[in-house]
A and B are shown apart, each in its own frame.
Chain A
Amino acid sequence: MAGPSSGTERLEFPSTCDVLERVDELTLKHATEAGFDETAAMEIAIAAIEAATNAIVHGNERREETLFSVEYAWEPGSIEITVHDSGRGFDLACVADPTDADHCMGTSGRGIFIMREVMDSVEFDMSGGSGTTVTIKRSV
């Protein structure tokens, strides 16, 4: 088997949860190509799925015809995944900690927490007025 490699890939998807399996497959593939082990690749895929879910559900409000993009950049030992939607964004300060006693039984609000738990960095950009971009990164 070949060793870790570098590469980039950018794809656009309709805003339906049906595409999450494809995002999962691609993330596992590229994380493995970057040299992450099976457990780490799975965690990165969990985070990517949350970023894509947010784009579909909250950003593009499940409007299937509105596309969101997923961009991968990987190199030996690290991966960066950027997800962009056309939504209005949100106030990060209003995102509650889902492990707090007041919120732990809630049925929503765990996506960003999950990303932050498994990735080294999670950055949101809602400054351009043209949607929301989240960039998640992890190194071996």
Chain B
Amino acid sequence: MRVKTEMKGEVAVVHASGKLMGGPESDALRDEVKRLLEDGVRRFVINLKGVPWINSTGLGALMSVYTSIQREDGGLKLCHVSDRIQSLFMITKLLTIFDTHASQDEAVAAFE
């Protein structure tokens, strides 16, 4: 899992790519969001364009990130969610938890 962050105004867009299957490889995402929260960022978009699929432990990593952001009264949106990840959200009844958008611009604009 590789992550790279760009700021779009007050919104941190975290580009994730590679495997999000729990364990050490998911730490990069959690660590990056933690660092940004410590820096005062409260609006997040995670761009999953480079993550074709995840498993339940990767889903747990996303839930962990989501709750960390919620705890600080922040907001999280996801974009470029693959059909397969959407299916996993649907199966686990998490579609209502994660606010997903087709494009990065749409996700960033949703904060306005």
Contact = CB atoms under 8 A, between A and B. Distances in A.
The A contact surface, by secondary structure, is: helix
Interface in B52-68: 53, 55-57, 59-61, 63-64, 67
A114 B22 contact: no
Given A20-B55, A53-B57, A108-B60, A113 B92 contact: yes
A46 B54 CA distance: 9
Interface string A93-122: 000001100001111101101100110000
B23 A17 contact: yes
Interface string B11-36: 00000000101110100000000000
A111 B55 CA distance: 8
Interface of A: 17, 20-21, 24, 42-43, 46, 49-50, 53, 57, 62, 98-99, 104-108, 110-111, 113-114, 117-118
B22 A53 contact: yes
B87 A57 contact: no
A49 B55 contact: yes
B61 A114 contact: no
